[in-house]
Chains A and B, each alone.
Chain A
Amino acid sequence: MTPSLMLAIAGGGLLAAGVYLLTERSLMRILAGIMLASNGVSMLFLVVSGPAGLAPIVGEPKYRISDPLPQAMVLTAIVITLATSAFLLAMSYRSFQLEGHDEVADDVEDRIVRRRADRDLTSESYTQHEADEVPTDTETGGLEAAEDEPAHATTDPTSEPDSGKISGATSPTTPTQPGEAP
């Protein structure tokens, strides 16, 4: 069997475009990316299923029918993509309801940890504090010293002190501004 070069190139191109769109922050572009990528994969299945032939029905001469197995797989994949798209559409609408846009934001807790690390490196009082505290305070290591500083709750409006708690749909605060992160 000689695979079709055109189909392979087309499938690869669709996949590349799809993966590029997946890296965007907007959910609608991600949706477009998923659709393109899944069509690309379907094309790859067409490549491996060999040359086109008659419908695979019992009774047709065996050497003239096309391979039914990849078709079954592609059908399954298409159905799954349909469900994924529907779910993603619902999700981006919900995101639009909550935030007014459909962009994926950064993780709040992650930013808190990162900010704490920055403070550890720059703050003189912290290094002083650590030097005083560590030899006596064996129970809690230096790691925690910075946690008790109340600083970040006031200096940065984007950090919610308790991000473990769900802020709820009605909360007017915007936890993060997408795009401002590196």
Chain B
Amino acid sequence: MDLTNLVPIPVILPLVGAGITLAAARRPRVQRVVSGVVLGLVVVVALTLCFAADRVGPIVLWVGSWDSFLGIALVADRLSSLMLLVSSIVTALVVIFPSRREVTDSPDGVPVSIFHPTYLVLTAGVSNAFLAGDLFNLFVGFEMLLFASYVLLMLGATRERVRAGATYMVIGVLSSTLFLIAIAVVYGATGTVNLAQLSQRLADLPASLQLTIQLLLLVVFAIKAAIFPLSTWLPDSYPIAPASVTAVFAGLLTKVGVYAIIRLQSLLFPDSHLTPLLLVAAIGSLLVGILGALAQGEIKRLLSFTLVSHIGYMLIGVALGTEAGMAGAIFYVAHHILIQTALFIVVGLIERVGGSTSMRKLGGLSAVPVLAVLYLVPALNLGGMPPFSGFIGKVSLIQAAFAQGSPLAIVAVVASVVTSLLTLIAVMRVWNRVFWRPLPEGADTGRTPSLRTVPRIWIAATSVLVLITMSLTVLAGPLTAYAQRAAADMHGGSYVAAVKESLR
């Protein structure tokens, strides 16, 4: 069976779905069904690609069958199809949540019919960024997901959201401008934007020009991935969006930036690791992020800061420049997408049951044991408690850092252990105050917390997501092996070979 034609499906299908849901703007039920079906199909396709890429190597499709490197290439290798699979699972599960009321918490209660089309465009953009075989298509993927995220962040256009959205949008536009400048420089220097061709031609450039290009692209992707010191926009904007939107943003958008950094460092500049620079940025992200989280009194903001902090873990793996480090980073990205989304979803449920996400106003939620379990499991996982995948990911990164052995790598190990402990303190503070403390005086809303205000399907979907994060522990062996093969792929040059082969 020819699998190449499956490659563009994760981009095309959500776009078609976006068109249909836009046409059916007045029928929320149709919209939900279409979104669900489309995203479910994307999961199936991503799973197929994942296995196919593992068995036969990178699958390349030239859109429009141009017979030279001028065309647009979509490439599904092990790394991109794994990312695609994890992200499609997350988007397919989260789309269940915005039922009639949740997206529509605009003050006048009017249903926001734009949610589903925008959400599907966001999915298409994420898929496109993962599959892109050239820099410009990567830019287009980024623009699609950024634009969708502007709209989703400002759903309902309330005062708070317009304020937060303005900052977010300016940052997005600035990074896009930088990306375009970088593309212009790359094209002027090499005459191509195809990643496979670039990986060969960039090596012939003068060293100073190579470094310029690498740093330009790193800054662009670091803004998207929210790496310290380019991370300040994130905790300001993410918590303002509706809970389910924040969950997808936190899970996916920064990881697309991390994915781009992995590609950049492994494919385009395999010999220039910039280890000290990236390690310092990683240590900065880890510590500044988690100290910020400890100071917060609002749960969504606290989680946004831990998000910034944990990007540092992935960056450590990339910075080491070794295969083991890269494999650890890939595993950690997959783990973190799922876990961060799960936590934000649970906080959405807490908001629904307790009426707030501010720790000052919450308490006594241990009366709802299901919710407590749903929070505790991902929280311990994020902190890196042993049986869970967070522990496995951190251990493999720490092992890789020790194997590399430079003094700065050892500092990074110390920083990552400290961050792990501080993360545990941060999430356990929420646990103590929200679940075990009696409701503070004066904050009594006059109703007992119960799950009856929450639709049953939400509990089911959250449970599935939490179960998937737990299953990462069981699947850790195969998944780690897969991540190692993906890392070996990029260092071994099979990506470039497959792209060249496909043109014959």
Q: Are A169 and B159 in contact (CB under 8 A)?
A: yes
Q: Is the CB of A107 within 8 A of B295?
A: no
Instruction: Given the known inter-chain contacts A113-B297, A162-B361, please indicate yes or no for A87 contacting B150, CB distance below 8 A.
Output: yes
Which residues of chain A are near B150, meaning CB under 8 Å?
87
Judged by a CB distance under 8 angstroms, whether B209 is at the interface is: no
Q: Does A48 sit within 8 A of B, measured CB to CB? A: yes
Given known A41-B181, A87-B150, contact A113–B166 (CB-CB < 8 A): no
Is A139 a contact of B432 with CB atoms below 8 Å?
yes
Q: In the complex, which of the residues A76, A87, A107, A113 has the most CB atoms of chain B within 10 Å of its own CB atom?
A: A107
Q: Is B181 touching A164 in the complex (CB atoms < 8 A)?
A: no
A147 touches B297 (CB 8 A): yes
Contact A91 B166 (CB under 8 A): yes
Distance in Å: Cβ of A79 to nearest Cβ of chain B? 10
Q: Taking the complex as formed, is B27 at the interface, i.e. its CB lies under 8 A from any CB of chain A?
A: no
Q: Specify the chain A residue showing the minimal Cβ separation from B188.
A: A48
For chain B residues 56-95, which have a beta carbon within 8 Å of chain A? 70
Q: What residues on A are CB-neighbors of B161 within 8 Å?
A: 166
Residues on B with C-beta less than 8 A from A44 are: 180-181, 184-185
Contact A164 B174 (CB under 8 A): no
Q: Is the CB of A80 within 8 A of B176?
A: yes
Q: Is the CB of A169 within 8 A of B297?
A: no
Q: Which of A3-61 contact B (CB under 8 A)?
A: 3, 15, 18-19, 22, 27, 30, 34, 37-38, 41, 44-45, 47-48
Residues in A94-141 with C-beta less than 8 Å from chain B: 94-95, 98-99, 104-105, 107-110, 112-113, 117, 139-141
C-alpha gap A84/B149 in the complex (Å): 12
Cβ–Cβ < 8 Å partners of A80 in chain B: 143, 147, 176
Q: Within A127-182, which residues are at the interface with B (CB < 8 Å)? A: 139-141, 143-144, 147-148, 161-171, 175
Counting residue pairs across A and B whose Cβ atoms lie within 8 Å, the total is 141
B162 touches A110 (CB 8 A): no
Cα A76 to Cα B203 in complex, Å, equals 28
Contacts A98-B162, A162-B356, A164-B357 given; does A83 touch B147 at CB 8 Å: yes
- CB contact between A164 and one of B107, B294, B300 (< 8 Å): that residue: B300
- What's the nearest-Cβ distance from chain B to residue A17, in Å? 13
Q: Is the beta-carbon distance between B163 and A69 smaller than 8 angstroms?
A: no
B169 an interface residue at 8 Å Cβ cutoff?
yes
Q: How far is the CB of B376 from chain A (nearest CB, A)?
A: 16
CB distance from A97 to the nearest CB of B (A): 9
In whole angstroms, what is the CA distance A165 to B176 when docked?
31
The reply to whether A69 and B187 form a contact with Cβ atoms under 8 Å apart is: yes
Instruction: Tell me if B297 and A112 are in contact (CB < 8 A).
Output: yes
User: Which residue among B70, B140, B185, B297 has the maximum number of chain A CB atoms within 10 Å of its CB?
Assistant: B297
* A160 and B165 alpha carbons, distance in the complex (Å): 19
**Contact of A88 with B by CB under 8 A:** yes
Q: Report which residue of B160, B357, B432, B440 has the largest number of chain A beta carbons within 10 angstroms of its beta carbon.
A: B160
Q: Does B173 contact A (CB under 8 A)?
A: yes
Asked if A140 contacts B162 (CB within 8 A), the reply is: no
A47 CA / B333 CA spacing, docked (Å) = 38
The A-contacting residues of B in range 282-333, CB under 8 angstroms, are 294-298, 300-301
Residue of B nearest to A176 (CB): B163
Q: Answer whether A113 and B358 are a contact pair too, CB < 8 Å, given A94-B162, A166-B105.
A: no
Asked if A89 CB lies within 8 Å of chain B CBs, one says no
- Residues of chain A within 8 A (CB-CB) of B23 are none
Contact of B356 (CB < 8 Å), options: A37, A47, A105, A164: A164
Q: Does B278 contact A (CB under 8 A)?
A: no
Assess whether B360 is in contact with A147, with CB atoms less than 8 Å apart.
Answer: yes
Chain A nearest Cβ from B172, distance in angstroms: 9
Partner pick for B158 among A45, A47, A113, A167, CB 8 A cutoff: A167
Is B169 touching A91 in the complex (CB atoms < 8 A)?
yes
Produce 1/0 per residue, A68-80, CB < 8 A to B: 0110010011001
Whether A104 contacts B173 in the complex (CB less than 8 A), given A164-B357, A168-B107, A168-B158, comes out as no
Contact A73 B236 (CB under 8 A): no
Interface membership of chain B positions 345-368, coded 1 if the CB is closer than 8 angstroms to chain A and 0 otherwise? 000000100001111110000000
B183 at the interface (CB under 8 A from A): yes
For B185, list chain A residues within 8 Å (CB): 44, 48
A166 touches B158 (CB 8 A): yes
B152, CB-defined interface residue at 8 Å: no
B173–A76 CB distance below 8 A: no
Of listed B169, B177, B295, residue having the most chain A CB within 10 A? B177
Contact of A48 with B187 in the complex, beta carbons under 8 Å: yes
Q: Chain B 139-168, CB within 8 Å of chain A: the 1/0 string?
A: 010010001001100101111111111110
Q: Tell me the bound Cα distance from A167 to B240 in angstroms.
A: 12
- The one of A3, A140, A162 in contact with B358, judged by C-beta atoms closer than 8 angstroms, is A162
Instruction: Please give the distance in Å from A83's CB to the nearest CB on chain B.
Output: 7
B296 touches A88 (CB 8 A): no
Are A34 and B173 in contact (CB-based, < 8 A)?
yes
Q: CB < 8 Å: which of A34, A91, A164, A175 contacts B165?
A: A91
The residues of A with any CB-CB pair to B shorter than 8 Å are: 3, 15, 18-19, 22, 27, 30, 34, 37-38, 41, 44-45, 47-48, 69-70, 73, 76-77, 80, 83-84, 87-88, 91, 94-95, 98-99, 104-105, 107-110, 112-113, 117, 139-141, 143-144, 147-148, 161-171, 175
- Which are the 7 A-B pairs with shortest beta-carbon distances? A48-B188, A168-B107, A44-B184, A104-B166, A41-B180, A166-B158, A164-B357
A-B contact pairs, 6 of them (CB 8 A): A76-B136, A91-B166, A107-B163, A144-B433, A164-B357, A171-B159
